[in-house]
A = this chain, B = another copy of it.
Amino acid sequence: MLKAIQILGSSSGSVSSRFRKPQQNSGLSLISTRKSIGTINIKTDSLLLPASHYKGRFRMSSTHSQSNPDGPSSSQPSFSSVAAIQSTGNIRKVNFCQFCGGSTKHEIPDGEEKVRAICTRCGKIIYENPKMVVGCLIEHDKKILMCRRKIQPSYGLWTLPAGYMEIGESAAEGAIRETLEEANAEVEVQSPFAQLDIPLIGQTYMIFLAKLKTPHFSPGPESSECRLYELDDIPFDSLAFSSMLVTLKLYIEDIKVGRPKFHYGIINKRPGTSPSEIHAYTLDYHMQS
C-alpha cells in the first residue's frame, strides 16, 4: 500500500476495556498451554531504538509504534490525527455516521456490553474491528529479503515487506502485492508462517513464507534499500517493528531445529514503555501447528 492512512478506530472505551473486563480476562485465563511452547520474552538487550527515529512531524503515540507499517507520506493531510491516539489504544471518537452523516452518540446498545457509536439519525451502530497486516518472509539462498523504510513511522529501519490487507483480496494476495510494491519482487507464497495479534493497537499480522520467482528486487517507493540478509546478519538492532522482531526470531528458531512451523501469538506491549522500544513486548499464548 503506497500511502496508507489508516486510523485505528474504536468505540469509546472498547480498547482499554480488555484490561478491566472480567469476561475478557477470564477468556485469557482459559487458554491452555497444552500444546503451547510457552511464553517468549523478547530480548531487550540490543533493541532499544533511538527516539530520534520518531521525532519530527510524526509524533508517535504508544499505540502507533507499529500500527502503520505502510505509514502515510508526510504529504497526507490526515496523519495529524495519529497524534490524538491515546496510550490506552483508544483513538478519535467516531462522531458521524459514514452513510447518512448523522451525528453519533456513544452508549451501550440494547443487548450488548460495550459502548458503541450509534447514529442518532439512522440508528446504525458503528462497529470497529482489528485490521490485518499481511506480509512475506522471503527465503532466497538461505537469506531473507528485507526492506529499509523510506517513510515514517520507523524511517530508516528494516522490515519485511508488509502492509494492510485490502477489501477484495485474500491475505496471500495482499502479501504478494505488498512485496511487489515495497521491493519490486515477484514472489510465490509457500505456506502460512505466523499470525501475531497486537490487541493494543487493533492489528493482526499474517506472515507467509515465500520464494522469489526471479532473483530480482529493488526498492519500491516506500523503501530506500532492499537487501538479502544471511540469518546471522539480520539487523536486529535496527528493526522497524516488534512484529518483525518476533517473526524473525521464531523463524530462526524453527530453522535451527528443522523446518518452519505455523505460529500463533499475542504481542502485548509492556505497560509504560515507549513506542520506540520495540523490545518492550512479550509474546503471549504462543501456539504452533
Contacts and interface: CB of A to CB of B under 8 A. Distances in A.
Contact of A98 (B2, B27, B95, B285): B95
A180 B29 CA distance: 13
B125 A190 contact: no
A34 interface: yes
B15 A168 contact: yes
A146 interface: no
A157 B240 CA distance: 46
A23 B123 contact: no
A180 B23 contact: yes
A100 interface: yes
Interface residues of A, number: 101
A235 interface: no
- Chain A contact surface mostly: loop
Contacts of A100: 95-96
A112, A124, A260, A264 pick with most chain B CB within 10 angstroms: A264
A257 interface: no
A128, A131, A191 pick with most chain B CB within 10 angstroms: A191
A129 B189 contact: no
Contact of A199 (B35, B168, B177, B285): B168
A172 B33 CA distance: 13
A191 B16 contact: no
A151 to B, nearest CB: 11
A216 to B, nearest CB: 13
Interface stretch (A3-11, A42-50, A52-60, A224-232): A3-11
B27 A132 contact: no
Interface stretch (A75-83, A243-251, A273-281): A75-83
A162 interface: no
B287 A5 contact: no
Interface string A233-275: 0000000000000000000000000001110101000000000
